[in-house]
Amino acid sequence: MRNAYLSIVQPSDYPTNTLRIFESGNMIESWWVENVLKNTPDMKVLDTQTACYYRDDVVNIHGRLDALCHHSNGRIVGHEVKSIKSAKYVAKSGAKDEHIQQLQFYLNVLGVELGQVDYLDKDVMLNGAEMIDSVDHCFPQKRDDQVFAEMITKARSLVGCIRGKSAPAEKGWLCDYCLYSEVCGE
What is the C-alpha separation between 138 and 80, in angstroms, rounded? 10
pLDDT at residue 176 tops 70: no
* Each residue's pLDDT tens digit, 92-128: 778 889 999 999 999 999 999 999 999 887 766 555 5
For residue 70, which amino acid is it?
H
Which stretches of 93-172 are assigned E, i.e. beta strand? 114-121, 135-142
Q: Using an 8 Å Cβ cutoff, are 103 and 69 in contact?
A: no
* Each residue's pLDDT tens digit, 141-170: 999 999 999 999 999 999 999 998 887 777
**How far is the CA of 149 from the CAs of 50, 54, 100, 137, 143, in angstroms?**
21, 12, 14, 27, 12
Q: What is the pLDDT of residue 126?
A: 54
**By three-state DSSP, how is residue 132 classified?**
helix
Reported CATH class of domain 2-184:
alpha beta
Strand 135-142 relative to strand 60-70, pairing: unpaired
Q: In the chain, where are the structural domains located?
A: 2-184
CA atoms within 13 A on the CB side of 147: 17
User: pLDDT class for 133, splitting at 50, 70, 90?
Assistant: very low
* DSSP secondary structure, 88-108, as one string: HHHHHH-S-HHHHHHHHHHHH
- The torsion angle over the Cα atoms of residues 130, 117, 26 and 76, rounded to 10 degrees, is 100
pTM: 0.83
* Each residue's pLDDT tens digit, 69-91: 999 889 999 999 988 876 666 76
